[in-house]
Amino acid sequence: MRKAGLNAIYELAKEDKDIVFIGSDLGVDTLKEFKDTLPNQFFMEGVSEGHMVGMAAGMAHAGATVYINTIATFLTRRALDQIVVNLCLDNAKVRLYGNGGGLVYGPLGATHTALEDLSLLSAIPNMTVLAPSDSVEMIDLIKESKDFPGPIYIRLGKGGEKVLSKAGTAKIGKAFFDKHSKSEGKVLICTTGVMRQRAVLVREFLEKESIFVDILHNHTIKPLDTNSILTTAANYELVITLEENVPNGGLGQQIGCLLLENNICPKKFIRLSLPDEFPQEYARQEEMFLTLGLDPESVASRIKELYV
């Protein structure tokens, strides 16, 4: 996903000299061809995320569309004031491309796990927040981002995700409804980011129990596709939100409030997310999901218990 997105940025830059890229001391040879062929559009700053965001804002104010990339935790937390003031208040056309969303960097510890990036960035006026589920969706959204106004945050997964999306279908602000061929309109999982991948596995587990799950995937967390959520969720008995983010300010909280405000009350509404605590272990992403009961099998068991 990361490479696909970076290559998509490179493709955009080839077509438009006002598109520039800034990295913050990225890995050796990252976007080497970009640097070699478009040196005037490629910048590598030091380990200074706050500066990089401010610099990107200045370039945007002078006419550039700026894609910036580093590890999500440092990009969002270290540079939060610059994001609020330089990007959001001044509505700068800057795209934050954040590596390692959620628990991707679990083995490296809590300094590197982006537990709350979706909440933090969703809370800021003018910010658009994206979390694609696979490389194809990522490429679509990068293409969409070219002419989209204002700042955008894009959360990345680990990479190597199964391709679930069809090219050319993802539009910023529009949720994707994936209806099971045998849907009974009973169970709906609302996902964001790579949790869509896990929801598909949950569906496969439950198919064996003759429980057929529909999925509403929200690659855009802000602005949330409220129309699709309301019209879809209104028909279901069990609505589950599934996200790799802390509970406060995440997808589940937003959808829960949205449904309540519109008098839509499924028989059961379950919010599945990372807990409101720092990781208690150093472990791989999937291992941590096992510990937290967020692995597909555990989620499927939980839904089975609730299904009547």
Partner 1 sequence: MEKGFLNQKSFEIRNKVLDIFSYGNRGHIPSAFSIVETLTTLYYQYVDIEKIKNNSEDRDRIILSKGHGCLSLYSILHDHDLIKEDDLKTYCRPGSVLGGHPTKGKIVGIEASTGSLGLGPSVAVGMATELKRKGSPAEVFVLVGDGEINEGSVWEALLSVGNKDLDNFTIIVDYNKYQSYSSTEEVCDLDPLKQKLEAFKLKTFEVDMINEPESLLLCLQEKVSIPKAIICHSIKGQGSKLLEGNLHWHHKSYLSSEEVEKVRSSLKKRQL
CB 129 within 8 A of CB 220: yes
**Rule CB under 8 A: is residue 45 a binding residue for partner 1?**
yes
- Spatial CB neighbours of 100, under 8 Å, sequence gap ≥ 6: 71, 72, 73, 112, 113, 114, 156, 158
DSSP 219: S
Check binding of 64 to partner 1 (CB under 8 A). yes
Give whichever of 61 and 186 is closer to partner 1, judged by the CB atom. Answer: 61
Q: Tell me the closest approach of the beta carbon of residue 253 to partner 1, in angstroms.
A: 28
Neighbouring residues of 269: CB distance < 8 A, sequence distance ≥ 6: 239, 240, 256, 259
Q: Which of 13, 19, 31, 59 binds partner 1 (CB under 8 A)?
A: 59
Q: Does 190 bind partner 1 (CB under 8 A)?
A: no
Is 50 near partner 1 (CB under 8 A)? Answer: yes
Enter the tokens of residue 253: 């909280």
The rounded distance, in Å, linking the Cα atoms of 256 and 271 is 8
Using the minimum distance from each CB to partner 1, give the nearer residue, 41 or 254: 41
Q: Residue 150 in contact with residue 96, Cβ under 8 Å?
A: no
- x-or-dash pattern for partner 1, window 135-164, by CB under 8 A? ------------------------------
Q: Binding string to partner 1 for residues 75 to 94, with x set by CB under 8 A, is what? A: ------xx--xx--xxx---
Please report whether residue 62 would count as binding partner 1 according to CB under 8 A.
yes
Name the residue nearer to partner 1 (CB basis): 24 or 135: 24
**How many CA within 13 A on the CB side of residue 110?**
6
Scan residues 88-127 and list those touching partner 1 (CB under 8 A). Answer: 89-91
Where are the extended beta strands (E) located within 173-225?
176-178, 187-191, 213-217, 220-222
**Residue ranges in contact with partner 1 by CB under 8 A:** 20, 40, 43, 45-46, 48, 50-64, 81-82, 85-86, 89-91
